[in-house]
Amino acid sequence: MLLSPSILSADFSALLDDIKKIEEGGADFIHVDVMDGHFVPNISFGAPVMKCLNGKTSLRYDVHLMIENPAKYIKDFVTDQTEYITVHQEACTDDLAEVLDLIKSYGIKAGVSIKPGTPTSVLEGFFNKVDLILIMSVEPGFGGQSFMEDQLYKAVELSALKREMGYDYVIEMDGGISLENIERVKEAGVEMAVAGSAVYRAEDVPERVRAFKKY
């Protein structure tokens, strides 16, 4: 399983050091949680914080935009190290196709995320247009929340649909993922896990990443 640790839980006074720790442990991506205080009730950071890491790490960015009007800010997050830019379906109910096309126009893989209360059926018509589907297993906005076990059914649905229809999106899950539930997450069909607190609160961060990477 791919691992994309969230720097929302990192020490921002020593951000590069914390990035090097997950890199040492074998993480696959840096998960960049962007919050605007409108779409979600919290503010995190913008593109300049992410861009300060350009060229200083070999890890690529897995950008998660929890913001309103994401089309206005897509270009800000485009760098040579950006692999994915993911927007929320709930923030793009009228223009999701256009936003996904905009992301791809920059040569970036396009993702879409859904909140816990949003069914996978809202993505019908987009399964063959997205490179990644991010299932939120907590309400987006704050780190350190408890994992919502009942969200695993979405991974099961998306995994079955992927096999039956030949879609090639990556199934990602974010929120409350830990070593206690990672096995169930993988068994449900999740291919990329986001972990923040469970990685950065460990005494030995590289070793914690290696523990996750065993799954």
Q: Domain residues of the chain, as ranges?
A: 2-212
Question: What is the distance between the alpha carbons of residues 124 and 108, in angstroms, rounded to a whole number?
Answer: 22
Contact 174, 64 (CB under 8 A): yes
> What pLDDT score does 56 carry?
97
**36 DSSP 8-state letter:** B
Structure tokens at 110: 């396009």
Question: What is the distance between the alpha carbons of residues 108 and 93, in angstroms, rounded to a whole number?
Answer: 21
CB atoms closer than 10 angstroms to residue 167: 15
Distance of CA 36 to the CA centre of its chain: 16
Predicted confidence band of residue 141 (pLDDT cuts 50, 70, 90): confident
Q: Which fold has domain 2-212?
A: TIM Barrel (3.20.20)
Question: What is the distance between the alpha carbons of residues 209 and 10, in angstroms, rounded to a whole number?
Answer: 14
Mean pLDDT of 64-80: 97
> What pLDDT score does 41 carry?
87
> What pLDDT score does 90 carry?
97
> What pLDDT score does 33 carry?
96
**Element of type H or E holding 205:** helix 205-212
Residues classed as catalytic: 33, 174
> What pLDDT score does 75 carry?
98
Number of H-type helices and E-type strands within the chain: 7, 8
Contact 173, 134 (CB under 8 A): yes
95-127 pLDDT per residue, tens: 999 999 999 999 999 999 999 999 999 999 999
More confident residue, 10 or 145: 10
pTM for the model: 0.96
